[in-house]
Amino acid sequence: MDTKTLEKIFNPFFTTKDVNEGTGLGLSIVHGIIKDMQGQIIVKSQHGKGTTFRILLPVSAEKKQSDLTQQEASKHVQGIRVLFVDDDELISRAGKRILEDKGYVVALAKNGLEGLKVFQKDILAFDLIITDLTMPRMTGLELGKAVRKLSSEVQIVLTSGILDPKLQSEFESLGFNGFVRKPWTAAEMLEVISSLDIA
């Protein structure tokens, strides 16, 4: 990358892709997650040669909890099955890692249509669907609507970086159980999930 690009890579919505090929939120969210974990991300790049990312994380970024509290938290999420739908691979991998570290079982889908096909195979296979709003082939709103026709039980969380106050305040009327604004942090995502009514 050249110097100008390197200076902007962690800015929300910055992208070098063409229109409709990416939102530019991947690195912004990864940066937020690492920062949320009290870590650092170091980037070195030479134009035409390559780029190296170094991620430094503390041994533990969490305050030590009592054994009882940890057991209760683990018991609460143990076996909860999540379908994480996002066309940005960086975001998907980060989301999967965060949730699996907490005890969730996570499957990935790269767009809404793929997510719907996965869900249609067994509508009882997932307790929670987390979906991005803007994706190729099928949007998160279209996915949520299609899923609701098949199941009223599965919880659905919508994520979006679009600054639409109406969308953020009326997600429930659209069939969603929660909303997380991009770029989200690990703490923000986990807080919304913990507020859901998942058995």
Q: Is 104 a domain residue?
A: yes
Q: Kindly state the percentage of the chain with pLDDT values over 90.
A: 42
pLDDT at 3: 72
Q: Identify the residue whose tokens are 């994520």.
A: 159
Q: Structural domain tally of the chain?
A: 2
pLDDT for the residue 197: 84
Cβ-in-10-Å burial (0-12, 13-18, 19+) of 145 comes to middle
* Per-residue pLDDT tens digits for 27-70: 777 777 777 777 778 788 887 888 888 887 777 545 554 443 44
In a shared domain, residues 162 and 75: yes
Is 111 part of any domain?
yes
Which amino acid makes up residue 61? A
Same domain, 154 and 74: yes
pLDDT tens-digit map of 170-199: 888 889 999 998 888 888 999 999 999 886
What is the extent of the structural domain holding 14?
Answer: 3-56
State pLDDT tens for residues 120-130: 999 999 999 99
Check whether residue 112 and residue 156 sit in a common domain. Answer: yes
Q: How far apart are CA 176 and CA 52, in angstroms?
A: 38
Rounded to two decimals, the pTM is 0.69
In terms of domains, do 45 and 74 share one? Answer: no
Least reliable range by pLDDT among 14-18, 42-46, 107-111, 187-191 = 14-18
**C-alpha span between 144 and 188 (Å, rounded):** 21
97 and 45 in a common domain: no
Average the pLDDT over 136-159 and give the result.
95
Task: Give the largest Cα separation in the chain, rounded.
Answer: 53
Contacts of 48-57 spanning 24+ positions with Cβ under 8 A: 51/1
Q: What is the CATH number of the domain that holds 11?
A: 3.30.565.10
Q: Helices in 9-88 by DSSP H: which ranges? A: 26-36, 67-77
**What whole-number distance in Å separates Cα of residue 60 and Cα of residue 128?**
27
